Amino acid sequence: MKYAIALIATGSLMALAAPAMAQSTGDSTFTGPRIGVTGGYDVTGAGSSVDDDTNDDNDQSIDGFAYGVTAGYDFDIGGAVLGIEGEYTDSTAKTEFDDGDFQGFGFGSVDAGRDLYVGARIGAKVAPDALLYAKGGYTNAKLNILSNDGETETDRDFKLDGWRIGAGAEYAISPNTFVNLEYRYSNYEDANIEMGDGSTTPNFDVDTDRHQVMAGVGMRF
């Protein structure tokens, strides 16, 4: 069951969120639509099934700064806060090969591309202006694979499908502004390659991990 954790969590939270729309939340801080920007540390690397500790020259991970925008909608049902959300990010992470080793972490010379996420979260208000939450959902990322044999350069996009889980804290600066800090882990299990002519290959199995520590600021409406 490839995305069981993410899909069950997302489906359950969205099902609970629907009837919550009809409940009165008064002047709750954590309710309604929200948008924001996010940024932080991003590292992507080989998963456990393709980890290669025997080759010291094999660059198994890339890290850099991830940045992007988020949007969501929260429902305060009194004892908990339920939310749905989406995110678009990019990253500066890339490999830097100086010796012709294009093994990467199972792909080759890698430049991280855009990452799309959609999911749900559930939180507990630990204070009138503070929320602790857990999240989960679906993520689709791109890795730009570059190689050059001295004559021909190859540039292909790997599209990765996977799931994400995470946890974080949100603090309301005012009823309409907030800051947050969260950790999230993503695992990508399926991929295909976007060819130069616009076609894509059939899906194949991969095992790629992503760890991020992200901080954000946003507004509620």
pLDDT of residue 136: 98
pLDDT in tens, 110-147: 789 999 999 999 999 999 999 999 999 999 999 887 65
- 89 vs 108: which has the higher pLDDT: 89
Provide the whole-model pTM.
0.78
Q: Is residue 121 part of a domain?
A: yes
- The DSSP H or E segment spanning 194 is strand 177-194
CATH number at residue 123: 2.40.160.20
Taking 90 as the threshold, does the pLDDT of residue 34 lie above it? Answer: yes
**Residue 28 maps to a domain:** no
Closest CA to 109 of 53, 159, 50, 153: 153
Owning domain of residue 215: 4-23+33-220
* Main-chain phi, psi angles of 124, to 5 degrees: -120, 135
**CA-CA distances (angstroms) from residue 96 to 52, 57, 85, 157, 186?**
18, 12, 34, 18, 23
Quote the CA–CA distance of 50 and 117 in Å, as a whole number: 24
Model pLDDT, residue 15: 44
Residue 110 lies in a domain: yes
Inside any domain, residue 213 = yes
How many structural domains comprise the chain? Answer: 1
Q: Is 112 exposed, middle or buried (0-12, 13-18, 19+ CB in 10 A)?
A: buried
* pLDDT on residue 48: 59
Name the band, by pLDDT with cuts 50, 70 and 90, for residue 3.
very low
**What is the Rg, in whole angstroms, of the alpha carbon atoms belonging to the chain?**
19
